[in-house]
Structure 1
Amino acid sequence: MGKVKKGESMAKTQQESNGKPKAGTWTYSEWSTRDPPMLTIILTYFQYTIFALIGYVEDWLASIGVLKVPTISEHGNKGFVPLYNDFENFYMRHHYRRIRDCWDRPICSEPGAEFDVVSRISPDHNYSFQMSKKTTHAINLGSYNYLGFAQKSGPCADAVETQTREYGSGVCSTRHELGNLALHEELEGLVARYLGKEAAMIFGMGFATNSMNMPALVGKGSLILSDKLNHTSLVLGSRLSGARIEVYEHNDMKSLEAKLREAISTGQPRTHRPWKKILIVVEGIYSMEGTICNLPEIIRLKKKYKAYLYLDEAHSIGACGPTGRGVTELLGVDVNDVDIMMGTFTKSFGASGGYLAATRKIINHLRKNSHSGVYASSMSVPVIQQVLSSMRIIMGEDGTNEGQKRLNSLAENTLYFRKRLKEMGFIIYGNENSPVVPLLLYIPTVIGAFSRDCLEHGIGVVVVGFPATPIIESRARFCLSAAHTREMLDRTLAVVQDVCDNLTLSNFKPPPSSQ
């Protein structure tokens, strides 16, 4: 514990003179970030120990009626199944409640490069909140608005308004009944063409795209090999499928191959019959780590052991690759080697919902068997048109180079911001091409203080701690956007430096150039 995990990074083999990567010119090499200073590790464990002692005392005082804090006694939860296990529940009640004001902050503007955040006050120890009249104008480093399409004006917003006036705002039916519009089929055709797949199917909710469709792809007698850090939607979908689940270490190809070998050699438990299907489930970019999956090696193993591959590109589609087509393009991988390509419209496209793209046979199977497709209400017209407009801009089908400009801007912002943080000496996770940039904070008391101080200085940033991350790996997570200007990024970097200095957060010397 305390040792920074190994990640995966792209090593450039070639590069254009303007610094923009070419498709297929990136190969995998492993790198290891530096360990935090021993003092940071000691302080982190010491503070968690103090928190635990205080928590047990608070629990005792609450049990005898001396301390009456709703979050400690979990008021209103009696008789319900606990959301977390005992230790996580203890941590959430005693530490999370003290910094709960750092999450769920209301905003009162578009979630663009800058936004307005409403302050809240709590009369009952952060158990509930009330809106105040104070707002803070800040640079938005927390939204997944990778290409800056979450705008209230511009060609996308104009097209949305036009279609809404013609079709209305809601569909009020499922696709199987009277909710299948020509716009739905138009978007599905565009998604398939954009990705280079035979067919695609769209869904109204990104989370449900995973959780409600995986049970239609695998079931009892099948095996799912899941990356240790896969998103909750993938974990839930895997569990609902009834298939057996084996977890391999994050981005560890030796661990994955060992699981594949064992699955082939031993078969199903007790009967030892061959598995009906073996499905490898991975993400393109991992949202908490900023790492990119080792897709070329995963595909090699998939072919070697005759498995299937499910690729979740929620954070990578539109966010990486010279033309925004995700990790397959970034790594020069043939999309036909990926059996199921999943993605969401909630990030790079500034909308909501998700898609699955595959062969026509698989998509036709999903149309009949997907719970999300059969029972959920159809995607609304404003959302469809937002995706249609933004995707056409990315593809250059609007007759401009606006899409390419945004892609280039995101790539440049990503490389610049990551490089500057490393030069400043901070420990960050992830791949240099990932617009998700986790900055390690470690010390639990720093989580809330970092978020509050950044907001006071006009920077809106997400902070993440246990149970969303390992208990010792608390972090701030910056999400970059094509809408960010160089001045915004420089101001953010200056604020981060000042805040960390004021919090006496260990700031490390830059690593030697050989690293």
Structure 2
Amino acid sequence: IVLMGIALQVCHAACNGELYSRPFIESFEETPMLLAVLTYMSYGILTIFGYLRDFMREWKIEKCHTAREREEQKDFVPLYQDFENFYTRNIYMRIRDSWNRPICSVPGATFDLVECSSNDYNWTFEYTGRVVKDVINLGSYNYLGFAENTGACATAAGEVTVKFGVGVASTRQEMGNLDRHEELEKLAASFLGVESAMVFGMGFATNSMNIPALVGKGCLILSDELNHASLVLGARLSSSTIRVFKHNNMQSLEKLLRDAIVHGQPRTHRPWKKILILMEGIYR
């Protein structure tokens, strides 16, 4: 289970401030300058040629109109607006076959793809019958290998399914609360160094719908600048005041937290009803 949103009360941060007494330093592999330059150049060239081809299509010079809707569809609401979907029309359609190939194996670190071809500028595809083996997976949410059909995760999942079934068929407030749920929450709280934690199944609605249940007007949300759209939407729906801290920067978060405790709410300076810190456990 991926913990997308972690709620920490102000007292938790105050009691566990010693966890971040030392400077928080992180490092990332820098993008080679040559690779960055070539990437920007490639997009620039494609963009220039895209505008050129749009101009040629407008004046009937370009005979290849397959990047736009067919003539018999002109009376329908257009799928692609000329300006809004310039990227889709002139760049994405060229490489659409790279992102729309069916997978015919477990989506693990590598997977097998069904080879396909197109005769209409990647609008539709035909299968060739050939399978491309062991392609490296760079676009999956299977961070921790839970989608594998062999290995420790699959074995453990099989054992738990035999004992507990595939679902509880009820909410945790009624008859759906398992000892494993409480054990996992205690483990998450221990790992984070806080009093308690809540664990939800991962999903867009998990964050967007549960955040408004935790906080509301008169509350403060401190949100990581690179949070997922579901966390951003949930924060906005909550009607809470939102302040953003730098990605994975504990000094930035601590400064905002100190200011929130010292100054309180704007104008009235009353203490915030709740302070919720939103951050993701795993980033792509």
Matching residue within 143, 146, 153 for 2:144: 146
Q: Is the 8 A contact 1:58 1:72 kept in 2?
A: no
Aligned match of 1:306: none
Does structure 1 residue 189 correspond to structure 2 residue 182? yes
1:47 aligns with 2:42: yes
Shift of 1:41: 4.3
**2:230 matched to 1:237?**
no
CA shift, 1:138, in A, is: 0.3
Where 2:273 maps in the other structure, the secondary structure is coil
Query: Closer, same or farther in 2 for the Cα pair 1:154/1:31, shift >3 Å?
Result: closer
Aligned pairs (5 A) from 1:9-408: 28-31=24-27, 33-34=29-30, 36-37=32-33, 39-63=34-58, 66=62, 67-70=64-67, 78=77, 89-112=85-108, 114-138=110-134, 140-142=136-138, 143=140, 144=142, 146-147=144-145, 150-151=148-149, 154=155, 156-157=157-158, 160=161, 171=169, 175=171, 182=176, 184-195=177-188, 196=190, 200=198, 202-203=200-201, 205-260=202-257, 263=260, 268=265, 271-274=267-270, 275-287=272-284
Aligned letter for 2:39? T
CA gap 1:209/1:108 in 2 versus in 1, 3 angstroms: same
Greater share of strand: 1
- The Cα offsets for residues 464-500 of structure 1, whole Å up to 9 and x where unpaired, read as xxxxxxxxxxxxxxxxxxxxxxxxxxxxxxxxxxxxx
Q: Report if aligned partners of 2:219, 2:240 keep a CA contact under 8 Å in 1.
A: yes
SS at match of 1:247: strand
- Aligned-partner residue type, residue 158 of structure 2: A
Cα contact 1:71–1:97 (8 A) shared by 2: no
Give the distance between the partners of 2:235 and 2:80, measured in 1 at CA: 21
Change (3 A) 1:264 1:34: same
TM normalised by structure 1 equals 0.39
CA distance, structure 2, for counterparts of residue 213 and residue 111 of structure 1: 29
Return the alpha-carbon distance in structure 2 between the equivalents of residues 51 and 236 of structure 1. 33
Structure-2 change in CA distance of 1:239 and 1:79 (3 Å):
farther
Q: Which amino acid in 2 is paired with 1:150?
A: E
Find the aligned partners of 1:35 and 1:59 in 2 and give their Cα distance.
33
Distance 1:161 1:262, change over 3 A: closer
- Segments of structure 1 that go 5 or more residues without pairing to the other structure are 1-25, 288-515
Deviations 1:353-379 (A, max 9, x none): xxxxxxxxxxxxxxxxxxxxxxxxxxx
Helix, strand or coil at the partner of 1:133: strand
Contact 1:228–1:247 (8 Å) recurs in 2: yes
Task: For residues 217-243 of structure 1, give each alpha carbon's deviation from its aligned partner in whole angstroms, at most 9, with x where no partner exists.
Answer: 122333322222112222222222232
SS in 2 for 1:233: helix
Shift of 1:71: 5.6
Native 8 Å contact 1:101 1:126 kept in 2: yes
Alignment-mate amino acid for residue 209 of structure 1: T
Q: Residues of 2 paired with 1:247 and 1:93: CA distance?
A: 35
Q: Matches of 1:267 and 1:49 in 2, distance apart?
A: 48
Distance 2:238 2:69 in 1: 36
Match for residue 5 of structure 2? none
Number of residue pairs aligned between Structure 1 and Structure 2:
247
C-alpha change, 1:58 and 1:246, in structure 2 (3 Å) is farther
Q: What secondary structure sits across from 1:279 in the alignment? A: strand
Aligned partners of 1:46 and 1:116: how far apart in 2? 32
CA-CA distance at 1:33 after TM superposition: 4.4
TM-fit CA distance, 1:34: 4.4
For normalisation by structure 2, the TM-score amounts to 0.65
SS in structure 1 at match of 2:244: strand
AA of the residue aligned to 2:115: S
Query: Who wins on radius of gyration, i.e. which is larger?
Result: 2
Change (3 A) 1:148 1:71: same
CA change 1:218–1:118 in 2 (3 A) is same
Are residues 253 and 162 of structure 1, via their aligned partners in 2, closer, same or farther at CA, if it must alter by over 3 Å?
closer
Q: In 2, Cα distance between the equivalents of 1:81 and 1:100?
A: 15
Q: RMSD in angstroms over aligned alpha carbons?
A: 4.3
Offset at 1:128? 3.7
- Distance in 1 (alpha carbons) for counterparts of 2:69 and 2:243: 36
Quote the Cα distance in structure 2 between the aligned partners of 1:47 and 1:185.
53
* Matched residue type, 2:48: L
Contact 1:189 1:199 in 2 (8 A): no
Query: What is the identity, as a one-letter code, of the residue corresponding to 1:242?
Result: S
User: Deviation per CA, 1:90-144, whole angstroms, max 9, x where unpaired?
Assistant: 3343222222222243222223455322223333322343444221220554442
Compute the displacement of 1:263 (Å).
Answer: 4.7
